[in-house]
Amino acid sequence: MKKHTVSLKLAKQMEKLGWEKETLFWWARNILDRKEKDAWFLIIKKNLEYELDTKHYDHFSAPIASEILEELPQKIDGKSPKKGWYLRIKPIKNEKEGWEINYVGKKRKDMTFYYSKMSTGIQGATPAEALGKMWTYLKEEKII
C-alpha cells in the first residue's frame, strides 16, 4: 500500500496545510500501546473506524494519486504563456526512478511552471508522493 499513498511525513504536512478530502487510507498508530506507540501503519479508513476505537489512535489521511489529482487544478492561469499552464505527470526516465509533476505551457519553449523554483518540476518516488508534493507546494505558495 505504501507505493500507492503519500508518505507519513507528507501526510502530516498536507494535513497541516489544510487537506480536507476524504481518503480511502489513513496512516494510524495506537497511542495507548507502549510497544506500538511509534509504529505507524496504513489502514483502510472505514476498517479503523469500524473495528477500532479511533480515539485511541493518532491518524492522518493518506491520499492516493487519484484523490490528489481531484484536488489539483488541471490548468493554472498565469502571466505567460497567455493560455495558462497545464498539469503534466511523467516518469523520470523510467518509473523505477520516480515521477515528475509540473505545469507546462502549450509550446515547447514554455515547458516549466513559472511559479516553480525547480526547472525539472516536483519529483517523488511514486505518483502519489510527487502529486502530494505538488499540492503542498501550491498550497504553500497560495496558488490553490
- pLDDT per residue of the chain (144 residues) written in tens, 0 to 9: 778 999 999 999 999 999 999 999 999 887 776 666 568 889 888 776 665 666 677 889 999 999 999 999 988 876 655 567 788 888 887 767 889 888 877 654 544 444 444 445 788 999 999 999 999 988 998 888
What's the pLDDT score for residue 43?
Answer: 87
- Give the residue from 112, 110, 1, 109 showing the smallest Cα distance to 65: 1
What's the pLDDT score for residue 12?
Answer: 96
What's the pLDDT score for residue 104?
Answer: 77
What's the pLDDT score for residue 117?
Answer: 42
What's the pLDDT score for residue 113?
Answer: 47
0.95 cut: is pTM over it? no
What's the pLDDT score for residue 114?
Answer: 42
- Give the residue from 65, 57, 64, 60 showing the smallest Cα distance to 16: 60
What's the pLDDT score for residue 77?
Answer: 78
What's the pLDDT score for residue 17?
Answer: 97
What's the pLDDT score for residue 20?
Answer: 94
- Give the residue from 68, 48, 50 showing the smallest Cα distance to 58: 48
